[in-house]
Amino acid sequence: EENAAGGRVVTAPTNGACGIVPAVLAYYDKFIRKVNANSLARYMLVTSAIGSLYKMNASISGAEVGCQGEVGVACSMAAAGLAELLGGSPGQVCIAAEIGMEHNLGLTCDPVAGQVQVPCIERN
């Protein structure tokens, strides 16, 4: 609603895929360990670093790369952030980011029964 009214919205990585990164953090907070200032900072630094790599070397825009790219970047960012919070090494964090993107590669935006759900179901 705020976006549709022309207001300012801060999203990660995009408006279309903005629920994935905070949802993974909320899962961590509820089911694994309470989020504190340190873990929040680490999560945000890792997710933003991964997002920046995509922004600089590819795209985060659904208009440019479709839902598979937009949702894939968000999954990649969230997977890397979660790996960091779970104590992963830098190499494991990068592998988590790659697996998050790999899951979405090759998916097309197919209107199943007239509704856009694949691969958008992850963000919806």
pLDDT of residue 7: 75
pLDDT of residue 64: 83
- The per-residue pLDDT for range 28-39, each reduced to its tens digit, is 999 999 999 999
Secondary structure of the chain as H, E, C letters? CCCCCCCCCCCCCCCCCCCHHHHHHHHHHHHHCCCCHHHHHHHHHHHHHHHHHHHHHCCCCHHHHHHHHHHHHHHHHHHHHHHHHCCCCHHHHHHHHHHHHHCCCCCCCEEECCEEEECHHHCC
pLDDT of residue 67: 77
- The per-residue pLDDT for range 72-122, each reduced to its tens digit, is 899 999 999 999 999 999 999 999 999 999 988 877 666 666 665 665 666
pLDDT of residue 113: 67
